[in-house]
Amino acid sequence: MSCKDRKNDAKLMAENAVRKAERQNDSLRMIDIFWQGRLIDFILQIPNPDDVLVITKQGEREYIATLATKIEK
């Protein structure tokens, strides 16, 4: 799978998460951010700011609780 395919997969996962959150009326936010030198394409807060779904450029998924405090702008 190419890097472009993985990025498209990550975008699709994020879009699906957005639609699911919208159906459930959860609060969410999407922003682009650099975190520890990596471009993070999507940050979705659903709905607890302590639970941040991070989908990186490589399509990896991580939960990073401390990141939520950095994006309270």
The count of domains in the chain is 1
User: Nearest 5 degrees, angle CA 50-CA 42-CA 3?
Assistant: 135
pLDDT digits (tens, 9 = 90+) for 6-56: 556 666 666 666 666 556 544 444 444 444 445 555 555 445 544 455 555
* 60: containing domain: 3-71
Please say if the pLDDT value at position 1 is more than 50. Answer: yes
Alpha helices in the chain (DSSP H): 3-23
pLDDT interval class at 69 (50, 70, 90): very low
Q: Which residues contact 47 (CB under 8 A, 6 or more apart)?
A: 21, 26, 27, 28
